Structures are given as C-alpha cells and as structure tokens.
Chain A
Amino acid sequence: MFEGWPLLSLLIWLPIVGGAGVLVLGRADADRARWSALAVAALVFVLALALWVGFEVGVAGMQFIERTPWIQAFGIDYYLGVDGISMPLVVLTAFSTLLVVVAAWEVVRYKPAQYLAAFLIMEGIMIGVFSALDAILFYVFFEAMLIPMFLIIGIWGGPNRIYATLKFFLYTFLGSVMMLVALIYLRTEAGSFAIQDFYGLQLPLATQTLVFLAFLAAFAVKVPMFPVHTWLPDAHVEAPTGGSVILAAITLKIGGYGFLRFSLPITPEASMALDWLLIGLSLIAVVYIGLVAMVQEDLKKLIAYSSIAHMGFVTLAFFLIFRILAGSGSRDGALMALEGGMVQMISHGFVSAAMFLCVGVLYDRMHTRRIADYGGVANRMPVFAGFFVLFAMANAGLPGTSGFVGEFMVILASFQAGFWYAAIAGLTLILGAAYSLWMIKRVVYGEVKSEAVDELQDVSPRERLLLGSLAAVVLFFGIYPAPLIDVMAPSLDALFRIVVPTL
C-alpha cells in the first residue's frame, strides 16, 4: 500500500515537521503536546514497519531510492536509500523514539513540548543518517544530531549537565570535522559525493591511512571506543531517561554503522593494515571497561560502561574479519563475524534502551541512582523485578535472549582468527554476567533495605506496556533471529565483496 511513496523522506521529515508542530501546539498545554507527539511518533513507527514489510529480503543493493539534485554546483544530491544494514536501524530508531515519547508521559514536567519536540526532531535526523547515500547529506544529518542532543542533556539533565553536555558536544564535533575534511578530499578523487562512488577508489595506502584515521576520529568517538569513551558515562549520567535511551540505543550505533558504510569499504587496505589497532582498542573496551563497569556505584554509570564494553565487542567483530580470513581463509567465518556484530548492535539497542528505562522507573520513584540506596526492590515491585532481571540477563547474553545470538556468532567466528581472540572476546560473557548479576543482586534481591524502598509502587500500566514490548522483542529475536539475519546477510555479503574483492 506504500508503493510509490517517498517513504524515506516521510520518515525523515514527518518527525522533524511534526516536532516543530508539537513545539507550537504544546507551548501552553502539556497534554496537547503529549498527544500530538505520540501521534507523530506512532505514525512514524507505522511507516517504519511499512518500510520493513516493503523491504525485499534477499536483495543486496539499496532500496527505496530517492534522488533529486540538491546543491548542483558540487553534484550533491538529496540521495536516500536503505539496504539490509541500515533498514533495521531505521526501524529501531522509530521504535525507540516511540518508547521515549511514552516514557516521558507524566515524568517530564519542565517544558514538555520542547522535550518531545527535541526527540522527534532527533528521530528524523537519525533516520536521515541511516538512509543518506550522499556523503554531504550524511554529514549534515550526522552533525545536526548534536543540536537536539545538546539541548536534551543540557536542559533536562542532572546537576552536572553543563559539563557533560559541553564535553559531549566538543568530543563529537572534533571527531566529525576531521571526517568532513576526508569527505571533501574523497570527492576530489571520485568526482562526486555519492558514497558508492567512493567505493573502489584505488587510493595509495598512505592516503587511505589518513582517510581511515579521519573516519576513525568521527566514528570512534560516537561508538565510543577506548580511549575516547569518557564523554559517554558523563553524558548518560546527566541525561534524562529519554536521552540515555536514544544515546545508547541509536547514536552509538551510528558509530558502528559508519565503520560499515565508510571505513571498511572506502579504505579496505588501511582497515586491514590497522586492524591491530582497532582490535586492540576493542579488546581493551571489552575487558577493561567491563571491569570498570563492575565497580560502579551509580546504576546509570554501570549501564553506560556496559554499553561501551558491548560496543567494543561490535567493533571487534567488524575488524576481526581480516584475521579470520588470514587464519582460516574462511569467508563464511568472516561473514558470520560481521553478521554477529550487526545483530549485537540491534540487540544492544533494545537491551540498553530497556535497561535505561528500568533505571528511569526506579529513579522516578526514589530520585537516586546509587545502587547502595536500593535492595529488596523485588519485594515491593515484583513485576518490575521480573522485567529488570530479564533485561539484565539479556545484557549478560543469556541464551534465549537477543543478546546471546550476536555474541555467540562473534565468538564462534573469532575462533577462526585464533584461540586467544576468542578467549579474550569470550571474557565479555563472563564479565557481562558478573556485573549484571551483581547489580541485580544488590538492587532487586535481599531484604527491603529502607523505608523508601518499602513504599515503592509497582509499574503502572504505561510502564508495563513499555517494558513488555521491549521484553517481547528481546525474547523474539533471541529465539528466532532468522528474520533479522536474512535481511542483513545479502547486504553484508555485498559489503564483503567490496572490502575483500579477491575472495
């Protein structure tokens, strides 16, 4: 029924225009702001589902292509399209934003219209990032994301929000302007700004390395990779719940997506030459940051560090492919690593969103995030405890949850790179289980610790709906990941042909 529609444009501009509408409509009336924001977010989600339904599985190339000239003097087009790599991320974005709008319902009292509008505009921009096929268009969306996120953390954040928001902005801005210079350089070589025209440029290794490093600056900060990860815990701790959800669920994925869309296919030789660097940093993220997560006393910080560790796992998967090929020559093994990384990204989107929403539920009631202030929550909030334990398990990679599928695929593939890669990567399961379980033990179980905990109310129907829908998704993809893998496999295969053309 959506055939012939400019579906991607609608997905981008409907939330942006809708956000502006919410801003105007809801200035005086908070309820009107909420309902109109919900209407926009729900409509966008329906369109995203239509995108998924209309997506032709088994096709490697771009679909839903839209192309019109935009800045003609430089051959820049308004050029959109999605493949199996970006389509799931678009749907994830629409889903998370809907959750954020619902989660903000009674909780956000200070300027709710501006809050909701910021998230809707953010949604449109992020979908733009995932569907832009022109480098400058991509860059425009990539950078424009900073504006709403800057405001979200700075206006609705915690006490230390100003430090956090400036740090967030300057880190990511520095990373991305380096990429801009690289993109401009690539255009002089390729003669156009279409990303696909950058593929297959035969650049000398030295040039490739510089371009690769410029991309690395942009995407490593976004992911974030060790040692440029320090903005993330600050940003998460200070951000409001919705901000944390979007940061963890989507913006981190943009870093991973960038590696797949830019770094690997445009600078394959440099990627291969520098894979030791990326693998090393990823392993540090997995092990060291995992250990750091364990000693956190703040719930949000713990989950933030766990996010960094999990994303380290994703970048490990992406750059291990060269070692896998060198180790076993197995193309399937390397492809499995890529698929595992992607599944892990999507799964982490759901799980981390759920974890942050859970913390948000607790914070709304107790106004503290210190783990030590909790204890015995299960006695007063049994339903909530059930959800929280399930998501913590998914975070730890328990079989039957979506978290398991990705990690399992990557570890399986990494055996072909060498035993030690797999052994260190496998530590993520142990560490993840350790900090997740320990957190659960301290927060959820045990005796009721204080009067404040004693007075806790269990989740409301609205919160039940939020957490329930996430639980359903996490379990569904945990038991039956095939639809996800089927969607992305052909595109990853095509990517692989560009990165390693000889095989």
Chain B
Amino acid sequence: MNFEMPQFALAAPEIWLGVMVCVVLIADLFDRSQEGRIAFFLTQATLLVAIWLAVSTHWGGDREITFNGMYVSDSLAAVLKVAIAGLAAVTLGYSRDYLRQRDLLKGEFYMLALIATLGMFVMASASSLLVLYVGLELLSLSLYAMVAFDRDSRIGAEAAMKYFVLGALSSGMLLYGMSMIYGASGSLLIDDIATRAAAGDNLLLMAFGMTFALVGIAFKFGAAPFHMWIPDVYQGAPTAVTAFLGSAPKIAALALFLRLLADGLGQLHDQWQVMAIILAVGSLAVGNLFALVQTNFKRMLAYSTISHIGFLFLGLIAGTEEGYAAALFYAISYGIMVAGGFGMIILLSRKGFEAEMIDDMRGLNDRHSGYALVMLLLMFSMTGIPGTVGFYAKWLVLQALVDSGMIWLAVVAVIFAVIGAFYYLRVLKAVYFDRAESPTPLEAPIGPRVVVAANGGLVLLLGLFPDTLIEICRAAFGL
C-alpha cells in the first residue's frame, strides 16, 4: 500500500476551525473582563473566515476526494458549510447579552460552539462512514454540554440528561446500521458502498443497515416517531443554546442524510422511500397537531420544528436531484426562520424573566412595532405565505413531489400546512390583536436588536428575490 499525501488545502475550513478552537480557548484565559468579549468576537471572526474558506475551497470546482477517500470537497459541501457557519454566527450573535445577563458568560461556551461547528463541517464533507460518525459525535457531545450550560437550572439538567441518553441511543443505532453496511459492502468509503450497492451485493443486509441508519438519522432530525426529546430539550435549554441547537444542526442532519442515504445508498431508494414517507407524514401530523395545543412558545416552536422536518423529508422522498435541492433550500430557510424565532424570545426576555409563553407576546405591537413586524414576517414565513422565504421553501418541495408524480402527498402536505397556519396565527393574534397588560416600551441591547432586524430583513429579502438562493441550492447538486 503506497502512502499518498493528502491534499490538506482541501480541508482548509476544518483545519482553520480546529486551530481556532485552541486559540479561542487560550485567548479566553487571558481575558480578564469577565465579559467574554475576546472569545465572542474571535468566534464570530472565525466563523466568517470559515465561510470564506468554504466558498473558496469547495465552491464551483470539480468533486475532489482526498485523505484516502474519506474527505470530499464539492459544491454541496460549500453550501452546507456556509449555511452552517452563517447560522451559527447569527445564533451566537443573540447569545452574548443573554448569557451575560444570566451570569453564564464564559469563554467555554464559544469554544464548545466552535467544536460543534467543526463537527458539522466534518459531516458536510464526510465521504466515509467513520468520518461521518466522528463529525456527528463531535457535534453531539458539544451540544450536550451546551444544553447543560446553566448548571443551576433543574429543567436544564433534565433536558441535558434526556438529550444525552436519547442522543447516545440514536448514535448507537446509527453505528449499528453503519456496521451492517460495512459488513455488506466491505468498505467504509461511501463511494465504494454506492458501487457495491449498484452491483447488488448483499442487498438484504445492506437494507437492514440502512434501516438502522435511517432510524438514527430520524432521531437526530427529530422526525416523528423519534421526536420525543425535541420539545423538552428546546424548552429546557437556555434560549441562546436552543437557537443554536435548533438551526445549524438541522443542516448537518441533512448533510448526514445526503451523504449516507442519497450518495451511498441511492440504489436502495425504493426501500428507504417508504420509510421516509412514513417519517414525513408522521412528523407533519405529530408536529402540527401537538403544536396546536401549546401555550409555551418554545415548545410550540419545537413541535413546529417537527412539522418542518416532515416537510423537509418530503423533498428527500422523491430521491431526485431536484428534491434534494428543495430540501436543502428548505433547511436553510427554516434555519433562518427558527433562529429569528428564538432570537425574538431572547429580545423579549430579561434577567429573571423568560418570555417563553405565547401570552408574553401580548400587545407587542403597542410596545415595539418593529419587533412586531419581525414576528409577523417570521410567523407568516413559517406558515408559507408568499412575500416571505418560507413560501418558496414549501413551493420547491411541492414542485419536487408533483414532478415525481406524488400529487397525493403534496395534497396531504398542504392540508397540514393549513392546520399549522392556525398556531402561527395565534402568536400573531397575541402580538397584534391583544393589548399588553403594561405597555412599557421594550429595551434590549443593541447587538441582538441588529441581528434580529437583519434576520427579519433576510426573510423578507429572500421572499422577494429567492432566485439566487434557489440557483445556489440547485447548483450544489449540479442542476
């Protein structure tokens, strides 16, 4: 076996992140301000550079594989990484003032976030089962710690416990599935697996492995019936963590699905399609129906996440390039929306008071019409009303479904979308139609305010001019 030097330049984004994790850790030690200023700004800068690196190394070029076939550099990786780092930057942008007000501000928080981001980057470029798994665990372990970041919070500890146990279980499932796939194909490399599957070797064993892997992926996504952890974890974690947890890792989960099932087991599409349909319809039903009865805004967003995951799976079901592009667009736009949603909670909260009930939004329009407008945009975007990016996300998925002849599924999806409209409207009812008990004008630090305004603006901007993002998502799949 002759040793081939890997092309380190192709992995520049990961190398950069890995180095910067150490730099942030050390720099924070020398920061005596107790405000985490250095760690915060260093992290944001790191993420911005990572975006630049991802684009310049991966985008547009040919698909290249290095590190003995374990690392892939293609346009898809670029889009995934830009979305991941961008969402991480936005959600961390909300976090600093939130953490400071609650005396949680420590440099480790940002270091953990960076490690999680590194894990997601690794997943986006993984071309081997092992690398995929390493990336996933890098992400998961950081997230467990972040969920438990408020050590004194009982509900936070419970959420972290739940997340850890179920996360470990799902990792186990995934690993078990991967080992079967390895057994069936004799290789850990996704390209080899695809070749073997195409040749029809050991398809039964491979299908078993695929089943377990899909269950693991569904756990990570939070698709019904593997969704139980989502509401508790979303509610229990500090809101700044929920915002991070709810947005970027969804992109990473999509990466997991695309790399493993689409790239590797595309041949088994007929088998996993049925399971994906069940997951999608189940998630739409569970998410939308349970969200209807929530009075806690964080829990409502959690159940709405499940329903959006259902919609995302609908894009994957078709198993076509168009469908994957639609799912990618969906994941990115959903990440933007949900980050904004949790950002709003952070804005409305203050020390000792979490504005996490829907009733806490009452009379927001009287207290600050700008925030109310952002809320309006976010909720209509999640409903899928045109003029916001959420419409195009839904439309692309429906388009992919209809193109592949599954019109009935499209009809089911839109019916659930209408049911979903009801609870988003309930939030807007509180914001616009109810009167505040005490119409004190709201005050919030400038940082989160700017981020939330940009976040709402992005929802509207992409809602009016979705073309560029659609083209990018399609180009990632060579369309």
A154-B429, A181-B402, A184-B410 known; A170+B418 contact, CB < 8 A: yes
Chain B: CB-nearest residue to A114: B369
B residues in contact with A139, CB < 8 Å: 386
A177 in complex: contacting residue of B369, B399, B414, B429, CB < 8 Å: B414
- Give the residue among B411, B433, B474 with the most A Cβ atoms within 10 A: B433
B201 at the interface (CB under 8 A from A): no
Per-residue B-contact encoding for A176-196, CB less than 8 Å = 1, 0 else:
011011001101100000000
- The distance from the CB of B428 to the nearest CB of chain A, in whole angstroms, is 8
A206 at the interface (CB under 8 A from B): no
A147 in complex: contacting residue of B385, B414, B467, B479, CB < 8 Å: B385
Per-residue A-contact encoding for B47-76, CB less than 8 Å = 1, 0 else:
000000000000000000000000000000
B274 at the interface (CB under 8 A from A): no
B residues in contact with A178, CB < 8 Å: 411, 414
A residues in contact with B18, CB < 8 Å: none
Per-residue B-contact encoding for A158-181, CB less than 8 Å = 1, 0 else:
000110011001100110011011
A503 at the interface (CB under 8 A from B): no
Chain A: CB-nearest residue to B474: A73
A422 at the interface (CB under 8 A from B): no
A144 in complex: contacting residue of B387, B411, B415, B474, CB < 8 Å: B387
Docked pose: A181 CA to B417 CA in angstroms: 13
A27-B369, A154-B429, A184-B395 known; A173+B387 contact, CB < 8 A: no
Question: Secondary structure at chain A's binding surface: helix, strand, loop or mixed?
Answer: helix
Per-residue A-contact encoding for B370-382, CB less than 8 Å = 1, 0 else:
0000001000100
B residues in contact with A141, CB < 8 Å: 386
Per-residue B-contact encoding for A181-216, CB less than 8 Å = 1, 0 else:
100110110000000000000000000000000000
Contact of A70 with B467 in the complex, beta carbons under 8 Å: yes
Per-residue A-contact encoding for B401-416, CB less than 8 Å = 1, 0 else:
0110001001100110
B398 at the interface (CB under 8 A from A): yes
A71-B470, A73-B479 known; A143+B386 contact, CB < 8 A: yes
Docked pose: A165 CA to B429 CA in angstroms: 9
Contact of A155 with B433 in the complex, beta carbons under 8 Å: yes
Contact of A140 with B391 in the complex, beta carbons under 8 Å: yes
Contact of B391 with A72 in the complex, beta carbons under 8 Å: no
Contact of A154 with B471 in the complex, beta carbons under 8 Å: no
- Give the residue among A111, A154, A161 with the most B Cβ atoms within 10 A: A154
Per-residue B-contact encoding for A240-273, CB less than 8 Å = 1, 0 else:
0000000000000000000000000000000000
Contact of B411 with A181 in the complex, beta carbons under 8 Å: yes
Docked pose: A73 CA to B429 CA in angstroms: 37
B421 at the interface (CB under 8 A from A): yes
Chain A: CB-nearest residue to B408: A181
Contact of B407 with A181 in the complex, beta carbons under 8 Å: yes
Docked pose: A165 CA to B415 CA in angstroms: 19
Contact of A169 with B421 in the complex, beta carbons under 8 Å: yes
Interface size class, chain B: 35 or more
Docked pose: A248 CA to B348 CA in angstroms: 39
Docked pose: A150 CA to B427 CA in angstroms: 13
B residues in contact with A72, CB < 8 Å: 467, 471
Contact of B407 with A185 in the complex, beta carbons under 8 Å: yes
Contact of A177 with B467 in the complex, beta carbons under 8 Å: no
A389 at the interface (CB under 8 A from B): no
Docked pose: A165 CA to B425 CA in angstroms: 10
B residues in contact with A71, CB < 8 Å: 392, 466-467, 470
Docked pose: A181 CA to B415 CA in angstroms: 11
Contact of A177 with B418 in the complex, beta carbons under 8 Å: yes
- The distance from the CB of B337 to the nearest CB of chain A, in whole angstroms, is 16
- The distance from the CB of B458 to the nearest CB of chain A, in whole angstroms, is 17
- The distance from the CB of A121 to the nearest CB of chain B, in whole angstroms, is 10
Chain B: CB-nearest residue to A178: B414
- The distance from the CB of A375 to the nearest CB of chain B, in whole angstroms, is 34
Docked pose: A111 CA to B439 CA in angstroms: 15
- The distance from the CB of A222 to the nearest CB of chain B, in whole angstroms, is 15
Contact of A151 with B432 in the complex, beta carbons under 8 Å: yes
A65 at the interface (CB under 8 A from B): no
- The distance from the CB of A155 to the nearest CB of chain B, in whole angstroms, is 6
Contact of B429 with A144 in the complex, beta carbons under 8 Å: no
Per-residue A-contact encoding for B435-479, CB less than 8 Å = 1, 0 else:
000000000000000000000000000000011001100100001
Question: Secondary structure at chain B's binding surface: helix, strand, loop or mixed?
Answer: helix
Chain A: CB-nearest residue to B384: A177
Interface residues of A in 86-129 (CB under 8 A from B): 111, 114
B residues in contact with A144, CB < 8 Å: 385-387
Contact of A74 with B433 in the complex, beta carbons under 8 Å: no
B422 at the interface (CB under 8 A from A): yes
A residues in contact with B467, CB < 8 Å: 70-73
Interface residues of A in 62-77 (CB under 8 A from B): 70-74
- The distance from the CB of A86 to the nearest CB of chain B, in whole angstroms, is 19
Contact of B466 with A173 in the complex, beta carbons under 8 Å: no
Docked pose: A173 CA to B411 CA in angstroms: 13
B residues in contact with A27, CB < 8 Å: 369
A residues in contact with B383, CB < 8 Å: 173
B residues in contact with A151, CB < 8 Å: 376, 432
- The distance from the CB of B225 to the nearest CB of chain A, in whole angstroms, is 26
Chain B: CB-nearest residue to A175: B418
Contact of A188 with B402 in the complex, beta carbons under 8 Å: yes
A398 at the interface (CB under 8 A from B): no
Contact of A162 with B387 in the complex, beta carbons under 8 Å: no
Chain B: CB-nearest residue to A184: B402
A147-B380, A180-B414 known; A166+B429 contact, CB < 8 A: yes
Contact of A170 with B395 in the complex, beta carbons under 8 Å: no
A146 at the interface (CB under 8 A from B): yes
- The distance from the CB of A174 to the nearest CB of chain B, in whole angstroms, is 5
- The distance from the CB of A234 to the nearest CB of chain B, in whole angstroms, is 15
Docked pose: A173 CA to B466 CA in angstroms: 22
B residues in contact with A169, CB < 8 Å: 421, 425
- Give the residue among A161, A166, A177, A185 with the most B Cβ atoms within 10 A: A177
Docked pose: A380 CA to B330 CA in angstroms: 62
- Give the residue among A155, A166, A180 with the most B Cβ atoms within 10 A: A180
A residues in contact with B385, CB < 8 Å: 143-144, 146-147, 173
Docked pose: A166 CA to B386 CA in angstroms: 18
Docked pose: A73 CA to B387 CA in angstroms: 19
Docked pose: A150 CA to B385 CA in angstroms: 12
A73 in complex: contacting residue of B369, B391, B428, B471, CB < 8 Å: B471
- The distance from the CB of B355 to the nearest CB of chain A, in whole angstroms, is 21
Docked pose: A470 CA to B387 CA in angstroms: 33
Contact of A154 with B433 in the complex, beta carbons under 8 Å: yes
B residues in contact with A146, CB < 8 Å: 385
Chain B: CB-nearest residue to A71: B467
- The distance from the CB of B418 to the nearest CB of chain A, in whole angstroms, is 5
Chain B: CB-nearest residue to A146: B385
Contact of B410 with A181 in the complex, beta carbons under 8 Å: yes
Per-residue B-contact encoding for A19-37, CB less than 8 Å = 1, 0 else:
0000000010000000000
B residues in contact with A165, CB < 8 Å: 429, 433
A residues in contact with B471, CB < 8 Å: 72-73
Docked pose: A374 CA to B458 CA in angstroms: 52
Interface contacts beyond A143-B386, A184-B399, A185-B407: sample of 18 additional A-B pairs, CB < 8 Å, sorted by A: A72-B467, A73-B471, A136-B395, A140-B391, A141-B386, A144-B385, A154-B428, A154-B432, A169-B421, A173-B383, A173-B421, A177-B417, A178-B411, A178-B414, A180-B414, A184-B395, A184-B398, A184-B402
What are 28 contact pairs spanning A and B, CB under 8 A?
Answer: A73-B467, A73-B471, A73-B474, A74-B470, A111-B365, A140-B391, A141-B386, A143-B386, A143-B387, A143-B391, A146-B385, A147-B380, A147-B387, A154-B429, A154-B433, A155-B433, A162-B429, A166-B425, A169-B421, A170-B421, A170-B422, A173-B385, A174-B418, A178-B414, A180-B414, A184-B398, A184-B410, A185-B407
Identify the 7 closest CB pairs spanning chains A and B, nearest first: A140-B386, A177-B414, A144-B387, A154-B433, A184-B402, A174-B418, A143-B386
B positions within 8 Å CB-CB of A: 365, 369, 376, 380, 383, 385-387, 391-392, 395, 398-399, 402-403, 407, 410-411, 414-415, 417-418, 421-422, 425, 428-429, 432-433, 466-467, 470-471, 474, 479
